[in-house]
Amino acid sequence: MKLYEYEGKLLFKKVGIRVPKGVVTKEPIKWDGKAVVKAQLLEGARGKRGLVKVTDDVYSTILEMRAQGIGTFLVEEFIPHTREIYLSTMMDRESGNPMIVASPFGGINIEESKEVRTFKIPLDRRVMRFDVEAVEKYLGVRGLETVLRGLLDLVLTYDAELAEINPLAVTEEGLLALDSKVILDDNALYRHEDIISELGRKEESDSYVELDGDIGIIGNGAGLTMATMDLVKIMGGSPANFLDVGGGADAEKIAKSILRVGNNSKVKKIVVNIFGGITRCDDVARGIIEAYKQIGKPIFVRLTGTNEEEGKRILQTYGIKTYEDAISAIGDALRM
């Protein structure tokens, strides 16, 4: 679950990482002196889109951003600072240890930066003085202990998949996180119900990912669904979404998934790719029929596996063609 900047900063405060004073608002507000107005969006690159502004007139800045369709704003005191650095933490997938990622240059796109170092902290122990020393030496900044402990705490106690401060401002009064990016491990949300409700969020439980194109994609299994999406692209189409219905989906789940994809106005056609193992093709077919009646968009179904014959028979009754492999299903979807 990706958190908004202000939500991430709330967690920062809980683990002792300092952030600028600020308020979250949906309405234009009055503010004395210089401030930063930041649109609260889950997508990045807000700066480039003019959605982060330093201003003396908070009220009109919010009105301007509102005109661009922004609903929630974080207004913060302006923090004069001499340097910006980059720090983040996540689990290192290879070693299974938490790691600190650091760069002496903050506010940059970390993917493109050449000056990045990682520091692994063994899972069996906490951040120690000598870890802090090593990171401080590399960055040329003192006083990092609280920040590093806090970041590790976010991974190990709060189950953050990624906790990023970009940038961390170096000021005369200490270090302040000017931005936050926190993504929580969806699998661990059940043990943080207090935080989820404090944020007013709900646990997200499906795998839906929105994409740019017009072909809706539904499959069973993450790999197979990704492969279907990639095939659409290779064959000259453009996928509108990714939706993995998971293992053993019943008719109801299939119907719900098709409605979700089909009701997206940009979706023109839907490709369904099912390789039934635990999932039964007759259940899938019943789910498809249920939803098909409601959405009325063309649907191309590749169906194979358990109870395949029955599934195909059901679909044929309603005039929905089925295919033996994904390539021919996608081929027809793109042609018709």
Instruction: Just list the catalytic residues.
Output: 86, 164
Piece of 27-35, 75-83, 135-143, 186-194 that binds another protein (CB under 8 A): 186-194
Confirm or reject binding of residue 27 to another protein (CB under 8 A): no
Q: Which of 79, 156, 199, 334 binds another protein (CB under 8 A)?
A: 156
Q: Which of 55, 275, 313, 332 binds another protein (CB under 8 A)?
A: 275
DSSP 97: S
Distance of alpha carbon 222 from alpha carbon 219, whole angstroms: 8
- Of 119 and 242, the one with the shorter C-beta distance to another protein is 242
SS3 assignment, position 153: helix
- Of 107 and 246, the one with the shorter C-beta distance to another protein is 246
SS3 assignment, position 317: helix
DSSP 4: P
- Of 61 and 307, the one with the shorter C-beta distance to another protein is 307
Number of residues engaging another protein in binding (CB under 8 A): 56
Checking phi first, is residue 123 left (phi over 0); if not, alpha (psi -120 to 50) or beta?
Answer: alpha
Q: Which tokens hold the place of 307? A: 């109870």
Q: Which of 64, 145, 186, 290 binds another protein (CB under 8 A)?
A: 186
Q: Is the dihedral of CA 111, 112, 113, 118 positive or negative?
A: positive
Q: Which of 187, 200, 296, 336 binds another protein (CB under 8 A)?
A: 187
| Backbone angles phi and psi of 56, in degrees to 5 | -100, -10
Of all helices (H) and strands (E), which one includes residue 233? helix 222-234
33, exposed or middle or buried, with CB in 10 Å at 0-12, 13-18, 19+? exposed
Confirm or reject binding of residue 295 to another protein (CB under 8 A): no
DSSP 158: S
Q: Which of 41, 128, 209, 259 binds another protein (CB under 8 A)?
A: 209
Distance of alpha carbon 86 from alpha carbon 127, whole angstroms: 18
Shortest reach from residue 96's CB to another protein, in Å = 4
Mask of contacts with another protein, 219-238, x by CB under 8 A? xxxxxxxxx-xxxxxx----
Confirm or reject binding of residue 258 to another protein (CB under 8 A): no
Confirm or reject binding of residue 93 to another protein (CB under 8 A): yes
Strand partners of residue 216? 270
Shortest reach from residue 75's CB to another protein, in Å = 26
Strand partners of residue 302? 273, 323
Binding site for another protein (CB under 8 A): 2, 88, 90-91, 93-94, 96-97, 101, 110-111, 123-124, 155-156, 159, 161-162, 183, 185-188, 190-191, 207, 209, 211, 219-227, 229-234, 239, 242, 244, 246-247, 275, 277-278, 305-306, 325-327
